Structure 1
Amino acid sequence: MSLHRSSAWPLTWVAVALIVYATLHPWSGWHWPDGQVFRWTLPRLGFEVANDLVANILGYLPFGLILCVAHLRSGRGPMVAALVTVLTGAMLSYTLELIQYTIPTRVPSITDWILNTLGTAWGALAALTIHALGLVDMWHRLRERWFIPQAGHGLALLWMWPLGLLFPPPLPLGEGQLLPRVRVLLMEATRDTPLQAWILPADPLTMWSSFHVSVATSSWAPVIESLTTTAGLLAPMCVACAVARPRSLRVILLTMLVSLAIGATALSTALNFGPVHAFTWLTMPAVVGMLLGAFGGVFLVDRSRTTCAVLGVLVVLFLIGLIHLAPLDPYYAQTLQAWENGRFIRFHGLSRWFGILWPYVALAWLIGRLWGRETLASAQQR
């Protein structure tokens, strides 16, 4: 069995998650559809919005492209890969259109289904074109030369990392603040139940204050911001060095990650708060943190992939601990969520979940990478 793992499959699941999230947004007001309203045949609406028509095609086009490439990389023939991709896109779209009967603010439409299927077909056609030009095979050869065989999920992590920065984190590059969100979800799930007293404190306002707020608001605040920025930059660097083989490629990847960190954060800030505020996040502590992260990347260039994975585990754990020192402001989060100018780039808040969950997924992958190497070494010794 080949140890090669394509990054197309995990990216396909990300594309599915994006489509499901966008189709069923705002994820509220669920109800069982009336039998007189529900139909297995999708209705045709009397009006169509041009922006929705374009969005339906563009929303499924990347999905069709990535899924078809994934099938091609798995050894399927071009025609079989294209056919399976289009059928999968059509079934996914049909299922989501039926589910829209349960959401009052969403309306199923056969036009949407046709356009979604068309977008999937165009994506599959683009994948076949790329394959016919030899670009897929070229990338496969380059990947075998540049990366380890198990690099698929690691490369997918690197692709997804900038998406989490599109929703401004509490501190620059500070992804992973999960516990406050979990507590809010538990509070909503236990509302008006005996368990609510265990989740909601006597003074609800105190739940937004971190138990380390005295540290975060003291003279240590600039230090915490610098260290968080450093760890936030080093985490993807460790992932990159854990999968890359040549030293020159590591240098290129680390340079790209620094550029992505600055560019994605500036773009997010500009779109959320206005172009004049694009670089207001670049305070002195953040600059120090970026420089420390860049110097840390220089140290990683000549380290072994196992060492980079071990350091990655420590860095991610450090990042998770630091970001939970940052206080969560519910009014800031609510305002940012509803800010019309930033909704497109933040994908109605989905990018926030990318930023929250990325460190934990990276941590699981790094630990799995180390565990896999230990298992392989034990098997070879036997």
Structure 2
Amino acid sequence: MSVHRSSAWPLTWVALTLITYATLHPWSGWHWPEPQAFSWVLPKLPHEVLNDLIGNLLGYLPLGLVMCLAFLRSGVGALRAALMSVAFGSGWSYSLELIQYALPARVPSISDWTLNTLGAAWGALAAVTIHALGLVDVWHRWREKWFIPQAGHGLALIWLWPLGLLFPPPLPLGQGQLWPTLRVHLVEWTRDTPWQSWLLPDDPLLLWGQLHETAVRPEWLGWSEIATVALGLMAPMCVACAFARPRVTRMLLLTGAVLVAVATTTVSTAVNFGVQHALTWVSVPVVWGLLLGSLGGVVLVDRARTTCAALGVVVLLGLIGLIHLAPVDPYYAQTLQAWEHGRFIRFHGLSRWFGLLWPYVALTWLLVRLFQRDGGA
């Protein structure tokens, strides 16, 4: 068995998080269900919506796929891996359906549970088919040649990075502006307590403005935007070079990062503001930032993996610091509200959390890499 740490397990936990978040959204109005309203036998709804049926079927397919691959990667037999994946997916779906009794905005349904189970089964079947065709073994051989054994979580970070870009950040590629959102939630959680006064300004109406008040002088805003875009592009490059082995693999990953950054930001802008505005995010500072970030990636190609991890820590700290100095975007609050209510790509605002948290998770992973011994680093 390969000593490489599989990225299928981290992706399994991400899939579970996505499913749980979407199933229980909006996560408000919790109440203890009345005894006569609760039943271990899920009810059949009188009316079914086709989009919901398709969503329930397809929503669990990735979970069944990555979980079955994770079991197979761990040495479990194909039949047992498939049965375990379907059983877990079905049990998880049933548990979430029961929890919906405690949410006024959600309605449990036996149809949802049946389709969720079927989706998990389809995903497990796809995983077993891929394994039987030998494609998993091919990927393992490539991975052993291209990446270090501890690359599993790093690969998951790279694959999840574009999801955070689907929600438009304050500046292009400027992920990680966590404090404003965290402060708003802290104000909500400490409502009617003595601690709320520590978080609120004297005039609560100024809260949003204070959260985004820029500390950069106007004449330096352009340079700040250039640096933010450059660091935002270099962040996934540093993560990739911290686990990639051959030079050609690094070049492919760095080129892919540039293409994915441009494509995802364009799609996000088009979806949020209209196709006619798809390229309005491109400006002179942004182009300079992309250019400098690409040149920074070239520097990483021949650096040792430990050096890339250390540079990644510096890059991410710089990105987090700069994005918290970003000025107010007049369209940002409106876009934020639209995403919170689940418009566009229907993650109910979850993509925004990917963008907010990705730099911190990547920073943690890079710090762990720096303290691990890796021969040939």
Which residue is equivalent to 1:194?
A: 194
1:43 alignment partner, SS class: coil
Deviations 1:234-263 (A, max 9, x none): 000000111110101111110000000000
Name stretches of at least 5 consecutive residues in structure 2 with no aligned partner: none
Which residue is equivalent to 2:29?
A: 29
Which residue is equivalent to 1:76?
A: 76
Which residue is equivalent to 1:237?
A: 237
Deviations 1:313-332 (A, max 9, x none): 00000000000001456973
Which residue is equivalent to 1:380?
A: none
CA distance in 2, matches of 1:273, 1:73: 42
Which residue is equivalent to 2:361?
A: 361
CA distance in 1, matches of 2:99, 2:43: 13
1:40 correspondence with 2:40 = yes
Contact 1:147–1:245 (CA under 8 A) maintained in structure 2: yes
Which residue is equivalent to 1:307?
A: 307
RMSD over aligned Cα atoms: 2.0
Q: TM-score, normalised by structure 1?
A: 0.94
Task: Report how many aligned residue pairs link the two structures.
Answer: 376
Which residue is equivalent to 2:16?
A: 16
Which residue is equivalent to 2:173?
A: 173
Deviations 1:66-94 (A, max 9, x none): 00000000000000100000000000000
What amino acid maps onto 1:22 in structure 2?
Answer: A
Q: TM-score, normalised by structure 2?
A: 0.96
Deviations 1:156-200 (A, max 9, x none): 000000000000000010000011111111100011112111111
> Which stretch of structure 1 is more off in the superposition, 201-210 or 175-184?
201-210
Deviations 1:328-358 (A, max 9, x none): 5697334443269982425111000000000
Distance 1:227 1:331, change over 3 A: closer
> Which stretch of structure 1 is more off in the superposition, 112-121 or 26-35?
26-35
Distance 1:53 1:185, change over 3 A: same
Q: Once the 2 structures are TM-superposed, how far is the Cα of residue 210 of structure 1 from its aligned partner?
A: 5.0
Which residue is equivalent to 1:107?
A: 107
1:296 correspondence with 2:273 = no
Distance 1:71 1:232, change over 3 A: same
> Which stretch of structure 1 is more off in the superposition, 46-55 or 145-154?
46-55
CA distance in 2, matches of 1:211, 1:55: 36
Distance 1:339 1:154, change over 3 A: closer
Name stretches of at least 5 consecutive residues in structure 1 with no aligned partner: 378-382
What amino acid maps onto 2:229 in structure 1?
Answer: T
Deviations 1:15-72 (A, max 9, x none): 0011001101111111111111011111111111111111001000011000000000
Deviations 1:93-147 (A, max 9, x none): 0000001111111100011000000000000000001001000011011100000
Percent identity (aligned): 68
What amino acid maps onto 1:141 in structure 2?
Answer: R
Contact 2:175–2:358 (CA under 8 A) maintained in structure 1: yes
Contact 1:337–1:343 (CA under 8 A) maintained in structure 2: no
CA distance in 2, matches of 1:330, 1:365: 34
Which residue is equivalent to 2:287?
A: 287
Distance 1:188 1:342, change over 3 A: closer
Distance 1:211 1:41, change over 3 A: closer
What amino acid maps onto 1:163 in structure 2?
Answer: L
Deviations 1:213-232 (A, max 9, x none): 45436111111111000000
2:44 alignment partner, SS class: coil
